[in-house]
Structures are given as structure tokens and as C-alpha cells.
Copies of this chain bind each other. A is one copy, B any other.
Amino acid sequence: MVVRTSSSPSTSTPAGEADPAGALARLRAASPLTQCITNAVVTNFTANALLALGAAPAMCDIPGEAGMFAGIAGGVLVNLGTPTAEQRDAAREAVSAPTPWVLDPVAVGALPIRTALAQELLAARPAIIRGNASEILALAGVGAGGRGVDATDAADDALDAARALAARTGGAVAVSGEIDLIVDAERTVRVPGGSALLTKVTGGGCALGAAMAAFAAVAEPFEAAIAASAVWAVASERAASGSRGPGSFAVAFLDELAAVHPEDLTGRAEVTR
């Protein structure tokens, strides 16, 4: 069964399906406080992407504050890109709060400290897991991991692994690739489009994880992951059209994130059971 998602309130959306347009409208209205425990490379771009999207970023990532802050945040991102000892403890605190959180298992499988931490954090059941195919395979215990931040497998290669992880957490799993794949225990969505230039800007994927955390404050995990992927696809396509290279693309991408309208997301994602 294939159901086109819709942004129009007058069009009936099947119960249980995703409404990314509605999610974006709610995000803009609520401006959810989004806590990011993320890597040193992408903090600035991530915060700017969240601001452009309409969320309120806060990079509170020290032990003794991270757990308390997670209690008042609307969504939390735990990205394992450069997990210092303090960040590891902050992540443990933050996932203990009842706030929905996103796990981005950067380079898990390839490197031991983050791999052990990711497995430990899984017990706290992330609402959404977002990674490339290599990372999702490694997290599920199937693959050996990539060579760091590069995906060396296609998104669909990780479909079974993603489904298994979703069954284990009860949440959603998003596999980034040329076509983004998003699953929960029962449903599958593919979000095509976007621009390859996004892979030439550091933090394009990491900021997508942060956007999923922001959406998780106003939507169920499956819908949140879809909405963020759809926004990324629209904004990156538009940004690419006027860019001369990766530098101007990154700037235009932030401009376009701020300009995406809920209705732009209509028909961007197809839910399959």
C-alpha cells in the first residue's frame, strides 16, 4: 500500500500515517528547545540550521547540567562524532530524561569508544536513530562500520538492520543516502531528491539529526524523521540551483531552510506498509 502524504488539512490522511507539512507548521509555532550533544566540527552549522528551521538550539553538553537541561528541552540530539569524556557522561545524563532523543552513531563500528557507548545508550531507546548505511549496519551488529563519516553502503542495504533496530527501540530509524530511507517497526518511507552538494558540506547529515530532534518535540518519531528529511531535500535542491560550489551552497542552504513552507513538503515522502 502506498499513501501519498499530504499537507492539506482538508485531505484525509490515513490514521497513523505521516504529515510532514503539519509537523513543520507545529515546529514553527512552538520553536522547540533542542539540546544538542554533538561533535566539535558541526556545532556552529547545526545551531544555525536549527535557527533557520525555526527551532531554538542549545548545545548544553557538560555533566551536571545536561540531564537537567534534557528535562526542559523538547528534543535531544546525541551525536557521537567527537565524544570526549565529558560528552559521554553528558549523553548518559541526557538520555535518562523522558524527552525524545535522537542517536547519531557517527563512525560506530569503526572505532571502539563510541561503539561501546552507542550500544549502552541504545538501552535508553532513542526515539530516532539516524546514520548512514554503514553506521546502521554496524549498530545493528551486522556490518563492520565504514571508514569514519563516509557511507560505503547504499541506504537500502541497511533496510533489514534498520527494521531490527526500530523493533528493538520502538522508535524510527533513518538511513541517509542518495534516497533517504526511514522505517519504524511496520512502515517504510523513502525520501528522494535533495542535492549531492550536501555531502560536500560538513555537518549536512549531523544537522539533519538535530532537525529530527527538533521535530521529535512536536511529532511522533516516524513523522519527525520524515519531516526533517523532506525539509532537507527541498532546501538542498533549491540551494544547489544557485550555488557556485560547496561554500555558497552551505550559505544558500541556511537561507532556504528558513524559507521552506509546510506546503512545499507535500508529496515528498511515500509511506509503504
Contact = CB atoms under 8 A, between A and B. Distances in A.
Interface of A: 33, 39-45, 47-48, 51-52, 56-62, 64-65, 68-69, 72, 81-86, 107, 110-114, 147-150, 200-203, 243-248, 250-259
Contact of A255 (B57, B202, B246): B246
A254 B247 contact: yes
Contact of A252 (B86, B150, B247, B257): B247
Contacts of A259: 244-245
A17 to B, nearest CB: 31
A245 B242 CA distance: 14
A41 B39 contact: no
B33 A65 contact: no
A147 B51 contact: no
B48 A148 contact: no
Given A111-B69, A259-B245, A202 B60 contact: no
Contacts of A113: 62, 64-65
Contact of A245 (B33, B52, B250): B52
B200 A51 contact: yes
A236 to B, nearest CB: 13
Nearest to A150: B56
Given A44-B45, A113-B65, A148-B60, A255 B251 contact: no
